[in-house]
Amino acid sequence: MHWDLILWLISLISNIVLLVLLIYQLICLSDLEADYMNPYETAANINSLILPEFGLQAAFCALFLVTGHFFMFLVTLPVAIYHARLFARGEHLVDVTEIFRALSVEKKHRLIKLGLYLLFFFLVIFRFPAGSISSLSIFSSKHGDLDIRSSFLEF
């Protein structure tokens, strides 16, 4: 199997899912701010997505640790630590009664996480072709056959 290709494909898909979850949370907060949604509905929608987001981010980080991609692990580790700290303190859920007071803070935290998830997305996008090319057997010279990579090194 081409494990490196599968790793980058899984990380790309999980990163897209993380982006979608976070953008949906930001839309819910913006709708609450514009008075399109009530606080109970907003809190219920956001709280139902927080634990899947935390679990997926932890799996995303652990995937890089297990496969030996330590740079990507170190890049994703701060968000995983932040999520673990929020969960340990019990501050991970949005409170219905305090949502209007914490609206700007919640949006700011999610915008910062959106920026980090976009950074992860671009890192994965740039690493995906390199991982897929290195895992394809047509580009490797196992039997002394034609090595396509050597033709690019001549230029």
Looking at the domain assignment, is residue 145 inside a domain? Answer: no
Look up the domain containing 98 and give its range: 3-137
pTM value is 0.81
Between 142 and 92, the more confident residue is 92
Looking at the domain assignment, is residue 146 inside a domain? Answer: no
Looking at the domain assignment, is residue 53 inside a domain? Answer: yes
* E-only strand ranges, the chain: none
State how many domains the chain has. Answer: 1
Looking at the domain assignment, is residue 142 inside a domain? Answer: no
CB 22 within 8 Å of CB 44? no
pLDDT in tens, 57-103: 999 899 999 988 899 999 999 999 999 999 999 989 998 888 888 89
Using CA atoms, how far residue 92 sits from 47, 113, 116, 144, 155, in Å, is: 8, 14, 18, 56, 53
CB 12 within 8 Å of CB 122? no
In the DSSP assignment, the letter for residue 93 is S
In the DSSP assignment, the letter for residue 147 is -
Looking at the domain assignment, is residue 152 inside a domain? Answer: no
